[in-house]
Amino acid sequence: MTPRRLLLYALPAVAVVALAALFAGRLATLEDGTDVPPSARLDQAMPVIQLESLHPGKPGLDTEALRGAPYVLNVWAEWCGPCKIEHPQLLAMSRQGIAVYGINYKDREERARSFLAERGDPFRAVGTDQDGKAGIELGIFGVPETFVVDRDGIIRHRHAGPLSEGDLERVFLPMLAHLQDPDR
């Protein structure tokens, strides 16, 4: 077999391998353990979201007012199982002085309030998204989702699914430390 002919016969195999690599590469951009592609909102400005507080009489959530300092925004619901699993991580961030804000997504407010009363309230402010419009504004695929926003109001990270201790140590804490103090 001439070398040229060998090349010709190898072509389909090479094409298959190249396509497989392409597909694998695209699949790898999905978030760990989910079928959620990267957020379309990543590296873009946090949309303007203004919500009433879950706690009557307390100030609500206004993303415009949050500019100037980095923060974490968590979308959660009492009816969502994974939200219960990740809750300790939100409390941990809040204990470390990180500004954590919440959006209570399509929930029964009474139950949401007792959830926070029982398990602890990590949120500096938590708005209620009764009709799910704020969720769509953020482009969420489900709950929980957690966003890291920098001092200029740019979304720097989106995590779909429950936060683990590892997520905090590997991604959230280093990123927030950097955003707090970019020169360090």
Partner 1 sequence: MRAVPAVIGILLLLPALASHASAAEDSDARVRALAAELRCVVCQNQSLLDSDADLAKDMRVLIRERVDAGDTDEAIVAFLVERYGDFILLQPPFKPATWVLWLGPLAFLVLALALARTRLRRARASRDRTDEADAA
Under rule CB under 8 A, which residues in 44-103 are in contact with partner 1?
A: none
Binding-site member from 60, 82, 88, 139 for partner 1 (CB under 8 A)? 139
106 binds partner 1, rule: CB under 8 A: yes
Outline where the chain has alpha helix (H). Answer: 3-27, 81-95, 109-119, 133-138, 165-167, 173-180
Number of residues in contact with partner 1 under rule CB under 8 A: 21
Contact 171, 160 (CB under 8 A): no
Question: Residue 175: which of 13, 155, 23 has the closest Cα?
Answer: 155
Question: Residue 61: which of 134, 148, 163 has the closest Cα?
Answer: 134
Binding-site member from 133, 169, 170, 182 for partner 1 (CB under 8 A)? 133
Smallest distance, Å, CB 29 to partner 1? Answer: 11
Binding site for partner 1 (CB under 8 A): 8, 15, 22, 35, 37-41, 106, 131-133, 135-142
